[in-house]
Structure 1
Amino acid sequence: MNSNCTVGLPGYTVKKYKQNHRQPRIGSSPTINLLKSSILVSFSGALRIHIAFLLLHIQSVFLNCLAGGLIIYAVYTLDRAMDAEEDIANRPELKGASRKTALIISLICFLAGAAILTANGLILIAFLPLITGYLYSKGARIGKFNLKLKGGLGMKNLVVGITWGAFIAGIAGIYATGLFAPAIVFLYFGLKLFINSAIYDFKDIKGDTLAGLKTIPVVLGQKKAKIMLLSLHTLSHIILLMSIITGILAFEPIILGYSFIIGLLYIKNFAEPVEVETKNRLARRLFMIDGESTTIVGLRTIASGLIV
């Protein structure tokens, strides 16, 4: 599913096409670019798990957050190492990277994260991203029925949202007394990650169009796709607000408020195609989208210190 916050599904490949646009100047080796490209999204994912603990009013388990971050890093790095052909246009800085090195690092990170989660009774959650990734790219045949998730408008975004929403809510929710609160956390993060993955599809319109991929912005167009994302964003935060008011989730105004405002801002600013992304736009995008959970945790820590 690519947090960047987007596909992250191993084996996502399409028909090859020729690259005819100018290559950007690359400062470091493609392998280094590949290995560091998933660090921010994995750190952000680990903090999302921490935020899930906060919403559920449960003491955060550091090792579980760390394990989740390691697995997220492994899956995203593996996805990018598979050299999906649309990435030739969308991420030329990764072209020529050592797939073997990426696979080894990904395996080590995944096994470390899976071992921690398995020790805490979360073996199914640990392998969930790989299972859905396989079903997405390869499918599974049961008699005459072929279960394959790949294909269809928004299917990639739906798989991203469901997989990582369940991953985050599952890691924190195992300690909850009931299922209703974790289900709301799953819905919140599932919708948020669905939206984020669709936003990255706007940036990748050129490569996706050349590859023949039917992404939401390619099929619906920029205006309708943006309206859809704004509607889903508003819905998810109304549900979150009502859950806090009714006491189902913990009173976390900073999480609710910042998530709602920053979401509106990054949908407005980044749900649009861009031919060449400037360094300034890249920095703003990384801060607003991938850095959202980091900012929330930082603001909450400062507020807690002031209150005390």
Structure 2
Amino acid sequence: MQPRWNLLAATFFIVFSVYGINKLTDIKEDEINNPERVSYVKRFEKALKYAVIVSFFLAVLLSAMTSPFAVLVILFPIVAGALYSIRLLPGYPRLKDITGVKNLIIAATWANGTAFLPYLVASGISFQKVFLIYYFFFMKSMINTMLFDVRDIEGDSINGIQTIPVRLGLEKSRAVLLVLNSTFIPWLLAAYSFGYFDRYLPVLVFAILNGYAYILYFSRGDYKPGKFLDIWVDGEWFYTLPLAMLM
């Protein structure tokens, strides 16, 4: 199908907005985990706040050009983020205080946009194909967010943030990440049996093997946090996409 540029742009702006908010609210934790980022955020704090607001409204307007359902998909991360941060019932913990909820929300946000926005403007697409696409991006995002939590174990522990790696420790977290990445093997077999994504099988195999590589590399006990994690893990689509375009 032809790209819908308004939806691509809306996705970009909502991601920029949500992650911008996260960088502004997590300054305390990042002072330990990523002091270089904190320095940058503080230097451009006012501009970043305006950019976040403008990006949010642009995302809503651009998605509204397609349908009200597209707006709902785009708004999911903002609504989820609000529910994540506030206490819904007195005496009960915030979603933010429940281990793993952050990872689930981030993974669902990426998967919702990636699977459902194209589905809204496509025709004749089976739901099982949509589910396979959803699972792929959900699990990729789940693994990647947990890997960043592995990097942030020290700062999160000091600030009392009970992430999955803080709870499990480094060794068990590595084992969980490898198991999650291994679920892509039956996923790939299922996709192949349905005749889906045949053209992109080499790229998908690469993405799975790449997942094993960066999990093992960044969950080492002697790893020192740096920009390489952002480039390799957060930036994986910058070098995976050109491979897909060659297929």
Shorter-chain TM-score range: 0.7 to 0.9
Amino acid in structure 2 at the alignment position of 1:202: V
Match of 1:30 in 2: none
Q: Displacement of 1:250 after TM fit? A: 5.4
Between the aligned partners of 1:153 and 1:199, the Cα distance in structure 2 is 15
Match of 1:189 in 2: 137
Range 86-95 or range 220-229, more displaced: 86-95
Matched, 1:239 2:183: no
Q: Displacement of 1:114 after TM fit? A: 1.9
Amino acid in structure 2 at the alignment position of 1:236: F
Matched, 1:136 2:80: no
Matched, 1:153 2:93: no
Q: What value does the CA root-mean-square deviation take over the aligned residues? A: 2.4
Amino acid in structure 1 at the alignment position of 2:15: I
Q: Are 1:204 and 1:273, in contact at CA under 8 Å, matched by a contact in 2?
A: no
Identity among equivalent positions (%) equals 25
Between the aligned partners of 1:230 and 1:201, the Cα distance in structure 2 is 15
Matched, 1:204 2:148: no
Q: Displacement of 1:154 after TM fit? A: 1.8
**Of 2, 6, 11, which residue of structure 2 is paired with 1:68?**
11
Q: Are 1:201 and 1:215, in contact at CA under 8 Å, matched by a contact in 2?
A: yes
Matched, 1:115 2:58: no
Q: Are 1:244 and 1:251, in contact at CA under 8 Å, matched by a contact in 2?
A: no
Between the aligned partners of 1:67 and 1:246, the Cα distance in structure 2 is 31
1:207–1:115 distance in 2 versus 1, CA, 3 Å: same
TM-score, normalised via structure 2 length: 0.87
Between the aligned partners of 1:220 and 1:208, the Cα distance in structure 2 is 13
Q: Deviations over 1:151-199 (max 9, x none)?
A: 2222221222122212221212222534322222111111110110010
1:107–1:250 distance in 2 versus 1, CA, 3 Å: farther
Q: Are 2:95 and 2:101, in contact at CA under 8 Å, matched by a contact in 1?
A: yes
Structure 1 segments, 4+ long, off by >4 Å, are 144-148, 273-276
Between the aligned partners of 1:72 and 1:300, the Cα distance in structure 2 is 22
5+ residue gaps, structure 2: none
Q: Are 2:32 and 2:155, in contact at CA under 8 Å, matched by a contact in 1?
A: yes
Amino acid in structure 2 at the alignment position of 1:288: W
The structure where helix makes up a greater share of residues is 2
Aligned residue for 2:97, secondary structure, equals coil
Between the aligned partners of 1:62 and 1:118, the Cα distance in structure 2 is 13
Q: Displacement of 1:111 after TM fit? A: 1.5
Matched, 1:104 2:47: no
Amino acid in structure 1 at the alignment position of 2:110: W
Aligned residue for 2:216, secondary structure, equals helix
Between the aligned partners of 1:271 and 1:101, the Cα distance in structure 2 is 35
Matched, 1:293 2:241: no
Q: Are 1:184 and 1:240, in contact at CA under 8 Å, matched by a contact in 2?
A: no
1:82–1:152 distance in 2 versus 1, CA, 3 Å: closer
> How many pairs align?
240
Matched, 1:90 2:36: no
Matched, 1:265 2:213: yes
Q: Displacement of 1:294 after TM fit? A: 1.6
Amino acid in structure 1 at the alignment position of 2:31: I
Q: Displacement of 1:235 after TM fit? A: 0.4
1:241–1:97 distance in 2 versus 1, CA, 3 Å: farther
Between the aligned partners of 2:18 and 2:222, the Cα distance in structure 1 is 26
**Of 8, 21, 28, which residue of structure 2 is paired with 1:78?**
21
Aligned residue for 2:99, secondary structure, equals coil
5+ residue gaps, structure 1: 1-57
